[in-house]
Amino acid sequence: MAQLSWFEELTADQAAEVTGVLEAAQGTDGVAPVGEAVRLRMRPGATGSRHLLARLNGELAGYAHVDLIGDSGGNKVAELAVHPKYRHQGVGEALVKALPQESLRIWAHGGHPDAEKLAEKLGFRKVRELLRMRLRVENDLPEPSVPEGITIRPFVPGRDEAAVVYVNHRAFDWHPEQGAMSIEDVRAKEEEDWFDPEGFLLAFDADEKLAGFHWTKVHTPDLGEVYVVGVDPDRQGGGLGKVLTLAGLRHLREQGVKEVMLYVESDNTAAVRVYTKLGFTLWDADVQYAR
């Protein structure tokens, strides 16, 4: 029987242990078991989380994170991982049963079959699916046709945060997580090793008002990401999203990456259609479960 312990904040040693479990799980499954937001919440001083550690024989066998702030629907959101060495020993089930059950959503990254079986056993059903798509960018990419009056330039730290957050909120007011991005969130990501302002492309209109942006990310020398593409609703429908996407893809290719990935909601048919026309194909999917 796994020994479970809750913590409001992880110590440096606990965070190192959890990182070891996450890396072991990713090495086996080929996909990270938790998202970027969870890793940020594992840092000293981070708030709004509860961390659940499961130990077997004195070793960390599993980890679960609960976002107490939750999504825009008022749901608490959990993510978890079980060390491959301790799978099929009841650790995952113990973690899920110990989570606060009211208004609970749980992510299963990569749609792992074990997660699906556990969800069915415990009475959870799929309520959301986030597709991961990818594109080889070694071949030619179309030249973006920038609309008249639009100029595109890189993000300037300390100057552009407020404008990005404003447009992001307008573009993603429907999104459970993205629409809540704050200036503090942007500044925190500016401190990440991967952050590169040259890969954060902003489109301004003739009045120097931000119309849209494409935030790119480089994961490895070979893999980049369409991290966020946001277009102000007043500018949607004119092709600016496609222009910004292409500009970001060309930037990533200039950095030497061979493949680019992105996440898109499965029910966002318009976005899926755009990405499919650009040559993106389905890689896998993250699934969110609820009772």
| 11 is an annotated ligand-binding site residue | no
Q: 177 a known binding residue?
A: yes
HSE of 84, CA atoms in CB hemisphere, 13 A: 12
Q: Which amino acid is at 264?
A: V
* CATH superfamily, with its number, for domain 134-285: Gcn5-related N-acetyltransferase (GNAT) (3.40.630.30)
Instruction: Report the C-alpha gap between 14 and 77 in whole angstroms.
Output: 21
pLDDT at 141: 86
Q: Is 38 labeled as ligand-binding?
A: no
Q: What is the pTM of this model?
A: 0.85
pLDDT in tens, the chain (291 residues): 899 999 999 999 999 999 999 999 999 999 999 999 999 999 988 889 999 999 999 999 999 999 998 888 889 999 999 999 999 999 999 999 999 999 999 999 988 888 999 999 999 999 999 999 999 998 778 888 899 999 999 999 999 999 999 999 999 988 888 888 999 999 999 999 999 999 999 999 999 999 999 999 999 999 999 999 999 999 988 889 999 999 999 999 999 999 999 999 999 898 899 899 999 999 999 999 999
pLDDT at 214: 98
Q: Is 273 annotated for ligand binding? A: yes
Angle at 93 between CA 89 and CA 98, to 5 degrees: 130
**268 marked as binding residue:** yes
In the block, which residue shows the tokens 């107490």?
Answer: 68
Confirm whether residue 36 is marked as ligand binding. yes
- 282 annotated as a binding-site residue: no
Instruction: Say if residue 263 carries a ligand binding annotation.
Output: yes
Task: Check the annotation: does 241 bind a ligand.
Answer: yes
CA distances from 53 to 50, 83, 119, 278 (A): 10, 12, 20, 43
Task: Confirm or deny that 225 is annotated as ligand binding.
Answer: yes
Query: Domain spans of the chain?
Result: 3-123, 134-285
229 annotated binding-site participant: yes
The verdict on whether residue 59 carries a ligand-binding annotation is no
Q: What does CATH list as the number for 3-123?
A: 3.40.630.30
Whether 240 has a binding-site annotation, put simply, is: yes
47: annotated binding-site residue? no
Would you state the pLDDT for residue 194?
95
| Residue 269 in marked binding region | yes
